[in-house]
Structure 1
């Protein structure tokens, strides 16, 4: 039975999933992220915190498209590795605000150059205009689902 119509290998879902996984695998390999006490699943949290600290745990869950329990466990691991701290929100004690430690901030300088080089190699030979179009389209898809 021919399943090509049901499971097109060049579909948006298949390609975005596979490309994302391939990039994550290559970045994990090149950065040796595991040696820093960080798993690939933690990278989204770190990137969010490198952009803005003092965010709520639930904001990280939304941004990383993870449930609250998964984020709570990830934050516990990162806190135990001295990468971040959770501080009670002075305005609402039920919330915890997440901040990077010195070690967490330093990881950016160790991990980002290799990650950026990986992306540069992955996009070699692709016209800047095509990359800009791809990023714009993916961003719109993301916004369609996150309403941001």
Structure 2
């Protein structure tokens, strides 16, 4: 790709997440309007636990691309909200496994529906081919830097 296809500032802004930030802000607003008192960061932890319950804090770090102190803080706050619980690993008591509570399970359907609606709104007028091309390019950028 030659340097003149994009203005550098525009390209960096796009790659660093302007679109992602806009979607996250809209989803946060939708949560608030529906009385759901969790942050997008907390929701991202819950999302990964809904995919696979009982992840270690390190696995959550890897899945969410967050550092250990951030995950510790997020899990602390999710525990206060009674959405998750920490359980010491049977194999290694230094490792905490994070499990969903019953309250988190009931939150899943409602928040996933809002996430889908928000994403549909964000992708209005974008064709399937454009989405696939975007995914391919961003995957290549990620792979190049991995």
Q: Same fold (TM over 0.5)?
A: yes
Q: Deviations over 1:88-114 (max 9, x none)?
A: 111111111111101111111111111
Secondary structure (helix, strand or coil) at the match of 1:98 reads: strand
Q: Tell me whether 1:32 sits opposite 2:32 in the alignment.
A: yes
TM-aligned CA deviation for residue 140 of structure 1? 3.8
TM-score (normalizing by structure 1): 0.84
Question: Which consecutive residues of structure 2, in runs of 5 or more, have no partner in the other structure?
Answer: 1-5
Deviations 1:9-31 (A, max 9, x none): 2x0x3114111110000011112
- Once the two structures are TM-superposed, the CA of residue 6 in structure 1 deviates from its matched residue by 7.8
Cα distance change, pair 63–69 in 1 and its aligned pair in 2 (3 A): same
Deviations 1:70-91 (A, max 9, x none): 1111101101101001111111
Q: Which residue of 1 aligns with 2:46?
A: 46
Q: Does 1:114 align with 2:124?
A: no
How many aligned residue pairs are there? 140
Give runs of aligned pairs for residues 59-138 of structure 1, distance below 5 A: 59-138=59-138
Name the residue aligned to 1:15: 14
Give unmatched runs, 5+ long, in structure 1: none
Give the TM-score of the pair, scaled to structure 2.
Answer: 0.85
In the TM superposition, what whole-angstrom CA distance separates every residue of 1:49-73 from its partner, at most 9, and x where no partner exists? 1111111101111222221111111
Tell me which moved more, 134-143 or 36-45.
134-143
Distance apart, 1:137 and its partner CA: 2.7
Aligned-residue RMSD, C-alpha:
2.1
Distance 1:84 1:25, change over 3 A: same
The equivalent of 2:3 in structure 1 is none
Conserved? CA contact 2:87–2:97, under 8 Å? yes
